[in-house]
Chains A and B, each alone.
Chain A
């Protein structure tokens, strides 16, 4: 069988000079335990004397808490206590997500609603009992009276002067209002040969990892120390925050993320329930466990991608971009998330909207508007899926208007290889990446011209087949020079690694990142084994524990291979140097003559060798063989940090082929090709898995997933029967092509790629559906493209034709 996933390289990576471990399809080290049902997820944790908490949540969007009668709940046998916000303030100081962004309006993160509720699903009362069953029974006995308050559910209404306020003390619902751009945008439009535009909408999504969120707080009254086990991506951030919220020193707080069952951004911030569990554990002196059920997850876990964008594109007569104008509103829900703030998603939309294209003039405004809905947080791609959807629709609209093929439009406008580094209209700098190379690789692989010919034939037969292209670039592995979240007071630009060879000769590599499905236990072990010169099976990667490194913020924003992989490279090189120094003394040879590979130190070209195990054992145990000075001055251990300073550019082209059913108006994805450039690849198998998963989530965004609210802010999609996740039937087989471009600006040559699939897929599928429906004069502006939505678009187009 021909390999459906061929590789192409534009970098200098000589396969012969290529190391054996980095770049290999290594089977994952984490797999055996997960396959045998022996993984340990937060919900699996049982501690002695543990109690369980269940929440009574608001069933109103915006309401005054008029009464909470706890008497009946308290008397149920097995109930430990029933708590409201005021009961917790002795222990908890609610944090506020802050930002240096001008005019930023801050909101708190409350452990429980206080005085009023601000969204359906907001926790109001915490019930602690000896079992979860009893806690839920008791929650059902609480008499909670909520008096509805006026609410502006629509973000454009909420942004108006005089709209009902969610946070009265702040005097506005507009939490962020920011503009950016460059060039003379009015002149660009005035001189344009053609302009196109539209109002685009990506409806609200729920990240929905299959493991819902969970935590277990365990206060040790004797040591006055708190351990929080949490299904989180960011144990270091949670540790730092818990210290402030509970006024505890860092050496008394440990945050552990055990096996985590997917996250996709949704487990990347502090949640109210984590504060509640900690407060109750301190108050009661017992471990407190909370496990979200799916219904809680669909109303309580932070949601995503809820934006409205009006955008216009100005083109010259040859289809070259003169300028783009965009106005975005992010419906950020009831509170800023901590620590990233409500600015993150809406600002990223306009920061990344110019995409991989040359654009002399750009002007964009974005507002983050508070509404009585679940807060909007991070979800795979953060802002960029919306940005790519808008930009790629504009490119296709422009192509159509000027009669240019969509492929040719992209060829004319992509930043060309000689133009790097290229500063976009929003100020982001793209370093050399395979923009054009990924486009050409995808086009060649899918056989674009033949595909267009086949589409013509299908159209003649009355079939609605469409081809959609999407190109994007993303900034990954962001260093200290750039903020992951605009203005957030947190250094996301650095990660550390500690590598230690112990007295048995085995290698431990400890990190501040936290793997939750990405396979970092394997890829980081590959990097360590490669750089140190040991066998991959000798490396134990430790992560997901705030005590492992002094500072680390976790895994998010396609950063971990770059930052942790960079730190691992530096630390491994430092340890290797010391191993060789020690071995040179033991072997009585010059250090320069020594090499290390496969866990052996050897003199090149001879059979003189010493196992690493033996070097370590002698170094630590055999005091007679090494002078005291060597044993004191050299360590078989090193901690190093890596800051990529700016970040690395990753890019891809997606091509989707779809068919729309003329009876059901359902969309079938017939083919899907991704050509991606994530630089030097550590493990192609894992990269392909990440692309597949990202595209699958993008298919959900494009065709299925939609959090629906009614006019009162009630959530109508609070089960997986109503909120549709893609299954194996809706997701197509995919071909993934690797364009490994060199990146001399970065230590390792790695580029981030965890999020990319979700950035490209909604745009590619939207363009493909629009292309399929083009003969019907239908424009695609809102995702997901459900059968009902397509039916209504087609009917509206028919009605419009009848009236003209």
Chain B
């Protein structure tokens, strides 16, 4: 149980090396080892999407990914987007459209939206609703989240989020 494996990865552009238990999942690794508590844990069985991060550019459930699987990977978390005093266009769109209430699902929503932006899905309500269907929000009823993501897709914003 105490056997550890040394992994090396890049998180938000910073190289990281740690010895971890094989059973440690990526969300716990980010939160407990790296103190990146912006990635939230909502269900730990892959349904709610709150823990969504980008791994080598694709969205993944950090609760269903072991930290050892991220060895050698590039990880982007919500902390890799804009800062509190310098929000990215996607984050700003969420604010303008009131796309968050309690904020707990928000990091996962942002990372899933970033995946949509990078994959240039059509800027339609239907396409965005479909692509958001793996992320649960209990507060907003989704409409303003969909509006925010459609607006960013429509503006075809090419920003630092595009190369996260």
Residues of A bordering B, CB below 8 Å:
27-28, 30-41, 43-44, 46, 133, 137, 208-212, 259-262, 264, 293-295, 516-519, 685-686, 688-689, 691-697, 719-721, 725, 727-729, 731, 733-734, 757
B155 on interface, CB distance cutoff 8 Å: no
Please tell me if the beta carbons of B110 and A517 are within 8 angstroms of each other in the complex.
Answer: no
Does any Cβ of A come within 8 Å of B162's Cβ? Answer: no
Q: Which residue of B lies closest to A516 (CB)?
A: B102
Known: A133-B23, A262-B101, A294-B45. A38 touches B84 (CB 8 A): yes
- Size of the B side of the interface (Cβ < 8 Å), in residues, is 60
A43 to B48, CA, bound (A): 17
Interface: B8 (CB within 8 A): no
B34 located at the interface, meaning its Cβ lies under 8 Å from any Cβ of chain A in the complex? no
Looking at the assembled complex, report how far the CB atom of A740 sits from the nearest CB atom of chain B, in whole angstroms. Answer: 19
**A77 to chain B: closest residue by CB:** B2
Which one of B54-62, B66-74, B130-138 is at the interface? B130-138
B18 at the interface (CB under 8 A from A): no
B157 interface hit (Cβ, 8 Å) = no
Cβ-defined contact, B78 with A37, below 8 A: yes
CA distance A133 to B21 in the complex (A): 11
CA distance A721 to B45 in the complex (A): 9
Which residues of B lie under 8 Å from residue A729 when comparing CB positions? 129-130, 133
Report whether over half of chain B's contact residues are helix, strand or loop; otherwise say mixed: loop
Is residue B29 contacting chain A, with contact meaning CB distance below 8 A? no
Q: Please, how many angstroms separate the alpha-carbon atoms of A293 and B25 in the complex?
A: 14
**Chain B residue with Cβ nearest A31:** B95
- What are 20 inter-chain pairs, A to B, with CB distance below 8 A? A34-B103, A35-B110, A38-B38, A133-B21, A210-B40, A210-B137, A212-B42, A259-B102, A261-B104, A262-B138, A518-B101, A692-B140, A693-B141, A721-B45, A727-B132, A728-B129, A731-B141, A733-B146, A734-B141, A757-B141
Q: CB < 8 Å: which of A32, A293, A518 contacts B87?
A: A32
Q: How far is the CA of A515 from the CA of B39 in the complex (A)?
A: 21
How far is the CB of A298 from the nearest CB of chain B, in Å? 9
B163 → chain A closest CB, angstroms: 19
Q: Which residues of A contact B130 (CB under 8 A)?
A: 728-729
- Please give, as numbers and ranges, the residues of chain A lying within 8 Å of B44 by CB-CB distance: 293-294
Partner of A685, one of B1, B83, B98, B142: B98
Closest to B35 in A: A46
Contact partner of B101 among A33, A41, A43, A689, CB < 8 A?
A689
CB-CB under 8 A from A517, the residues of chain B are 101-103, 139
Could you count the A-B residue pairs with CB atoms below 8 Å apart for me: how many are there?
A: 181
Determine the chain B residues whose CB is within 8 A of the CB of A43 once the complex forms: 31, 37, 40-41
- Complex partner residue of A37 from B23, B37, B128, B141, CB under 8 angstroms: B37
**Nearest B residue to A45, CB-CB:** B37
A794 CB, nearest partner CB in chain B, Å: 27
| B103 and A261 contact, CB distance less than 8 A | yes
A44-B82 Cα distance, complex, nearest whole Å: 20
CB distance from A798 to the nearest CB of B (A): 33
Asked whether A35 and B141 contact (CB < 8 A) given A28-B95, A133-B23, A210-B48, the answer is no
Chain A nearest CB: distance from B25 CB in Å? Answer: 11
Shortest beta-carbon distance, B129 to chain A, in Å? Answer: 4
Which A residues are CB-close (under 8 A) to B146?
728, 733
Taken together as a complex, chains A and B put the C-alpha atoms of A28 and B103 apart, in Å, by 12
10 closest pairs, A vs B, by CB? A37-B38, A261-B104, A34-B103, A517-B102, A692-B141, A696-B141, A37-B78, A720-B47, A517-B101, A44-B37
Q: Are A689 and B87 in contact (CB under 8 A)?
A: no
Chain B residues contacting A691 (CB-CB under 8 Å) are: 141
Please name the residue on chain B nearest to A212 by beta carbon: B42
Residues of the B chain whose Cβ atoms lie less than 8 Å from the Cβ of A264:
138
Q: Which residue of A lies closest to B38 (CB)?
A: A37
Evaluate contact between B107 and A37: CB separation under 8 angstroms: yes
